[in-house]
């Protein structure tokens, strides 16, 4: 009983030097395992248990020095490049609202003030999400997934139709992240878990279709695509322990058969047919569904690479803001392209692409399954919002634009996207200490502690 007490005292001294409590358990577990392994090795060489324990502890070195080294290596650090880009995109959005405000047909100054307040609230929400332990998504996926379903259904049932649709559309952006937790929970259940993950996609898909006309098909596409990306990644990495090619064939064949059928049955064949005609040729219905597509094409055809676009013949008596509706929300890029040139679109695409690429690089580096899936879910949702918005504002009006994350006007979408970004930063801040065994408390292989011929090596570049 004496030697375990010495080991316990050694570990306690190390623990006292590590200020980040989340890091204490995995670090102490690895040190303890190494001491036990070394002790057993010395016992096999003929030493007594007491001598073996003393020598194993001595080889670890001074517990205060070891603890201080581990404390420096294990401090939660945000990813500063991603954080700076987030702030830059947010400030760019506010600056654009200031630019549009004085000429807006509504009260531009009042709209900017509202957006500024929303931006402040969004920052607070992002900080809160950043401090949250993201592993709750993996521990309680059923509660989170179906709790979100219940909230959205309640919005549909007990609020006014227009308001409930807007709330629900924005809340649906949380579903890919919730779905990532569900896939994480089912990953070791073979074909049964794989099939269940495929079937459950239909729930958020159906809730999306019930939303506001024009935006429901956008959210339907975004959710289904994000969830398929997550499930495809899980299958290709072998986390379901199924035959990959067969699983992918089942997944995409059933998706091609089931989801379009669900969409047609719910939306109505006539509506879908008209939408397809308008997408292919806006002039098919220039005063109805095709109006906005026709207007966008006209503005873009008169835009220049740099500077104000050419005058629109026959519409000289109207301003750009009178001809193009919702310039601060849905068609912000179209306005900016016509007003300042295509160079603006290139600049915005570059900064958004830099954000997405940086996030994907960090996502790829995640060692835990949960960290990878959650970060992939958030990035895919963010990227698809950008792609859909840019495509619609560039004349490829396949789907109605939802939001240009952190840039276009709209408080709810801004707060939700900032919340998701905060959660993404939380993954990158603490993901290195998350394991994938029961309780998410297991450690990974010895990345931050290495041993070589009886010497302990602390990898101080762990969080870089």
* Cα distances (angstroms) measured from residue 268 to each of 164, 260, 262, 279, 445: 21, 11, 10, 17, 54
Clarify whether residues 145 and 110 are in a common domain: no
In-domain check, residue 99: yes
The answer to whether position 424 is within a domain reads yes
Domain count, the chain: 3
79-84: long-range contacts at Cβ-Cβ below 8 A with a sequence spacing of 24 or more?
79/358, 79/362, 79/425, 79/428, 79/429, 81/358, 82/355, 82/358, 82/359, 82/362, 82/424, 82/425, 82/428, 83/425
- What is the pLDDT, as a whole number, of residue 26? 72
In a domain, 126, yes or no: no
Do 102 and 229 lie in one domain? The reply is no
Tell me: do 435 and 454 sit in the same domain. Answer: no
Residue-wise pLDDT for 357-394, tens only, equals 999 999 998 888 999 999 999 999 999 999 999 998 98
Structure tokens, 37: 């392994």
Asked if 177 and 291 sit in the same domain, the reply is no
Does residue 155 sit in the same domain as residue 6?
Answer: no
Are 49 and 87 part of one and the same domain?
no
Kindly state whether residue 274 falls inside one of the protein's structural domains: no
- The domain of 64 spans 2-74+450-458
| SS3 call for 76 | coil
**Same domain flag for 106 and 178:** no
Indicate if the pLDDT at residue 83 is higher than 80. Answer: yes
Query: Is 127 a member of any domain?
Result: no
367 and 262 both lie in a single domain: no
Q: CA-CA distance, 15 to 9, in Å (whole number)?
A: 10
Do the beta carbons of residue 424 and residue 173 sit within 8 Å?
A: no
Q: What is the pLDDT of residues 269-316, one digit of tens each?
A: 566 666 666 666 666 555 556 677 778 888 888 889 998 888 877 665
Are both 298 and 436 inside the same structural domain? yes
Residues 197 and 236 in one domain: yes
Q: Tens digits of per-residue pLDDT, 238-276?
A: 999 899 999 999 999 988 888 777 766 665 556 666 666
Which two structure tokens, joined as six digits, stand for 292? 């906005």
Last residue of a domain, one of 267, 297, 317: 267
Closest CA to 235 of 200, 193, 176: 193
Q: What is the largest CA-CA distance in the chain?
A: 99
* Dist CA 291 CA 275 (whole Å): 12
SS3 459: coil
Domain co-membership, 189 together with 230: yes
Q: What is the mean pLDDT of the chain?
A: 80
How long, in residues, is the chain?
A: 464
Residues 139 and 233 in one domain: yes
- Domain termination site, one of 223, 242, 267: 267
Residue 23 covered by a domain: yes
Least confident interval from 66-75, 78-87, 302-311: 66-75
Give the domain-ending residue among 211, 236, 267: 267
Q: Is 374 domain-assigned?
A: yes
For residue 140, give the DSSP letter: S
User: Residue 327: how many CB atoms within 10 A of its CB?
Assistant: 24
Q: Specify if 122 maps to a domain.
A: no
For residue 456, the surrounding DSSP H or E stretch is strand 455-458
- Rounded (10°) CA dihedral 413, 417, 420, 424: 170
- The answer on pLDDT for 438 being more than 60 is no
Q: Residue 456: what are its φ and ψ, rounded to 5°?
A: -95, 130
The Cα 369–Cα 387 span in angstroms is: 26
């Amino acid at each position: 009983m004496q030697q375990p007490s010495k080991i316990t005292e050694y570990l306690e001294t190390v623990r006292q030097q590590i200020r980040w409590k989340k890091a204490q358990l995995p670090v102490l577990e690895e040190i303890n395992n190494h001491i036990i392994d070394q002790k057993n090795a010395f016992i096999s060489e003929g030493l007594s248990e007491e001598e073996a324990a003393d020598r194993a502890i001595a080889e670890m070195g001074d517990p205060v020095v070891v603890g201080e080294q581990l404390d420096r290596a294990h401090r939660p650090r945000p990813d500063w490049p991603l954080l700076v880009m987030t702030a830059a995109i947010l400030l760019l959005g506010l600056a654009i609202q200031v630019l549009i405000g004085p000429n807006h047909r509504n009260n531009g100054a009042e709209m900017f003030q509202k957006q500024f307040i929303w931006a402040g609230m969004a920052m607070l929400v992002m900080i809160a999400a950043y401090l949250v332990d993201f592993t709750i998504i993996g521990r309680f996926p059923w509660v989170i997934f179906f709790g979100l379903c219940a909230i959205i259904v309640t919005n549909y049932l007990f609020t006014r139709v227009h308001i409930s649709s807007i709330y629900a559309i924005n809340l649906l952006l949380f579903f890919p992240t919730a779905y990532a937790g569900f896939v994480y929970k089912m990953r070791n259940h073979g074909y049964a878990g794989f099939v269940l993950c495929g079937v459950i996609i239909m729930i958020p898909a159906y809730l999306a279709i019930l939303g506001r006309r024009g935006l429901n098909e956008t959210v339907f596409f975004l959710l289904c695509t994000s969830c398929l990306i997550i499930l495809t990644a899980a299958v290709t990495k072998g986390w379901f322990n199924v035959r990959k090619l067969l699983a992918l064939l089942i997944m995409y064949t059933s998706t091609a058969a089931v989801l379009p059928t669900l969409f047609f049955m719910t939306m109505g064949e006539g509506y879908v047919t008209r939408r397809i005609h308008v997408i292919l040729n806006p002039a098919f219905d220039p005063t109805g569904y095709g109006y906005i597509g026709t207007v966008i094409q006209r503005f873009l055809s008169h835009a220049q690479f740099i500077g104000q676009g050419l005058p629109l013949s026959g519409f000289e008596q109207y301003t750009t803001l009178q001809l193009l509706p919702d310039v601060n929300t849905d068609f912000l890029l179209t306005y900016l392209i016509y007003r300042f040139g295509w160079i603006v679109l290139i600049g915005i695409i570059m900064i958004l692409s830099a954000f997405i690429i940086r996030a994907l690089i960090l996502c790829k580096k995640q060692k835990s399954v949960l960290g990878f899936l959650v970060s992939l879910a958030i990035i895919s949702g963010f990227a698809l919002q950008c792609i859909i918005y840019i495509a619609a504002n560039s004349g490829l009006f396949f789907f109605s634009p939802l939001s240009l994350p952190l840039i276009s006007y709209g408080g709810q979408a801004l707060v939700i996207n900032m919340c998701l970004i905060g959660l993404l930063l939380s993954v990158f801040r603490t993901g290195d200490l998350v394991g994938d065994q029961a309780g998410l408390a297991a450690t990974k292989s010895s990345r931050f502690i290495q041993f070589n011929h009886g010497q302990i090596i602390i990898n101080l570049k762990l969080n870089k």
